[in-house]
A and B are shown apart, each in its own frame.
Chain A
Amino acid sequence: MSVLELLRPVTITEIPEHHFVVVHPLDDVREQKVNTSGLRAMPMTLSVKLSLMALRGYLILMMLLVLYHVIDLAGAFGPHAH
């Protein structure tokens, strides 16, 4: 069997004995994944909740810092001293 024949997919209905079939994921039957549809927010311990709140505060602070810096660089607060 030539390489070109191998790479040209054909419709397979039977697998001969001691053979393997290679199927592209997009040609394969859809697989049942982990069912996440019924899941709600992740249950967290108090320490994780507090850590995430601290992270939220840190991110808000950093965003404000970046915003200030960008506005400053754009010259909104007057010319730079240096």
Chain B
Amino acid sequence: MANQVLSISTAGAEATLPPVRGCVVRSRWLYSVLTFLTVFGPGLIVMEADNDAGAVSTYVQAGAQYGTRLLWILLLLLPVTYFIQEMVVRLGIATGKGHAAMIYQRFGRWWGMFSLVDLQLVNFLTLVTEFAAISLALSHMNIAPKLGVPLAAVALITMVVSGSYRRWERVTVFLCLLDLGWVAIALKVRPSLGEVFHNTLVPGIPHGGVTASLTFLVIAIVGTTIAPWQLFFQQSCIADKRLRFSDVKWARLDTFLGAIFTIVVAGCMMLAGNAAKMHGINFFDPAQMANDLHIFSGEFVRSAILLLMINAAVLGTTAISLSSSWAYGEVKGWPHSLEMPIRKAYGFYLTYVVCVGLAAAIVLIPGAPLQLIILGVQVLAGIMLPSAIIFLQLLLNDKEVLGQQFVNRPWNNWVNWTIIIVLFALSLILAAQVAAPNLFPAS
């Protein structure tokens, strides 16, 4: 529609349209800005929601163990995460369908079921870790988790069940922008800017060489920055938002800005961990770090880290639960849209409510094996990611689905196969470590 209107407009003749809701503007520049703003959302959300509770823990730990020495990995992951999600954008806009539905249709029942079951399992375990982080942060704020966790679950459900995609998107984009608080934290803890720039731009191995701890942290950083649910989420989100062919360039820009935003926020999380290292603080989790760091950096840093931990978990929960609900709805053939009221898409909303409610309930069980669940999430996501990207790659070379316009170019394929090979190598290292824990030197 936007292209059609543009061509009518530039033709210079007064034209008529079937009635649509929109804004008429005179300036081409303003037209571009407003069109971008209408498309903006899925790219930022998919990227920033990946900075979830697990990511906060991983990045802060990376900073606490190795200071700023691993910042270059984040810079390296910026184009990787963009390239992967850009393919999802093209697939979503061209087909108007979700990722799970495409895998089911083009690769058959076995792969369809495997992808769906694996996605649901990893997603659910991740949700448990999100609520565990909410519980942890709340207890450090002297709020009883038995009260706070159910309240968070109710808020997360309310965000989604209103039957309006736009309302959910606005709230979620606002929560994403709250993560700018990490930039304020990074500025407050006063890192050495020269060291930050140097270690971001110049790759290097930290003192002590390649150890088991470093290897796992690098794998965890990669696994945290690129997650399987992101492929499913963004494609379904684009399909639900009904992005048009003419929106491709704006959706790419949205994804690119989202990638930059996410990497900057992740870097700031590492700087918070680096501050703990500089002050000789040892901690088990980010909440404890926030408590100990406030002696040196003030109450603002403590409160901000605790609140942003909750925000990260809330963002992760809404995006991950929606990716599960969309994927399940697509495969089952149920109506699955945030634009639909509950009575028309009850299966879709029920999946979301069950995911959120059950994960919140598990966290409240005393003695739940949370460490085991966290390990399971990391390992399963590490195993699933390379295969998920292989299917994405095959779909993006599927001319029957995408035609010549949206199919991968040769350079796309070179880049993506390189990414797949690296991810497989990391996945194999992870597998080897699980099978033979003494493979790498301990320190």
Q: Which residues of chain A have a CB within 8 Å of any CB of chain B?
A: 1, 6-31, 33-34, 36, 39-42, 48, 52, 55-56, 59, 62-63, 65-66, 69-70, 73-74
Contact = CB atoms under 8 A, between A and B. Distances in A.
B242 A21 contact: no
30 contacts: A1-B25, A9-B22, A11-B21, A14-B15, A14-B17, A15-B15, A15-B16, A15-B24, A17-B14, A18-B12, A20-B6, A20-B24, A20-B25, A21-B2, A21-B20, A25-B241, A25-B243, A25-B247, A26-B166, A26-B241, A26-B242, A27-B21, A28-B242, A31-B242, A33-B97, A34-B403, A36-B105, A41-B106, A42-B107, A52-B107
A21 B4 CA distance: 10
A41 B25 contact: no
Contact of B38 (A25, A39, A74): A25
A59 B242 contact: no
A23 B15 CA distance: 16
B72 interface: no
Nearest to B240: A26
Nearest to B27: A20
Contacts of A7: 23
A39 to B, nearest CB: 6
B135 to A, nearest CB: 22
Interface in B387-409: 387, 390, 394, 398, 400-403
B242 A25 contact: yes
Given A17-B12, A34-B94, A63-B383, A39 B376 contact: no
A41 B270 CA distance: 44
B421 to A, nearest CB: 13
B241 A23 contact: no
B211 interface: no
Nearest to B109: A41
Contact of A39 (B19, B25, B400): B400
Contact of B28 (A20, A63, A74): A20
9 closest A-B pairs by beta carbon, nearest first, are A33-B96, A20-B31, A23-B22, A27-B21, A22-B34, A42-B106, A9-B21, A28-B1, A24-B38
Interface residues of B, number: 70
Contacts of B434: 65-66, 69
Contact of B20 (A16, A29, A63): A29
B431 A62 contact: yes
A71 to B, nearest CB: 10
Interface in B93-149: 94-97, 102, 105-108, 110-111, 114
A16 B17 contact: no
A27 B105 contact: no
B365 interface: no
Interface in B1-49: 1-2, 5-6, 8-10, 12-28, 30-31, 34-35, 38-39
Contacts of A28: 1-2, 20, 242, 244
Contact of B383 (A15, A21, A25, A59): A59
Contacts of A55: 387, 390
A10 B25 CA distance: 12
B13 A59 contact: no
Contacts of A39: 105-106, 400-401
Given A20-B9, A31-B245, A42-B394, A13 B16 contact: yes
Contacts of A8: 23
Contact of B39 (A16, A18, A25, A70): A25
A7 B107 CA distance: 43
Which of A23, A25, A55, A66 gathers the greatest number of chain B CB atoms within 10 Å?
A25
Contacts of B102: 36
A51 B247 CA distance: 35
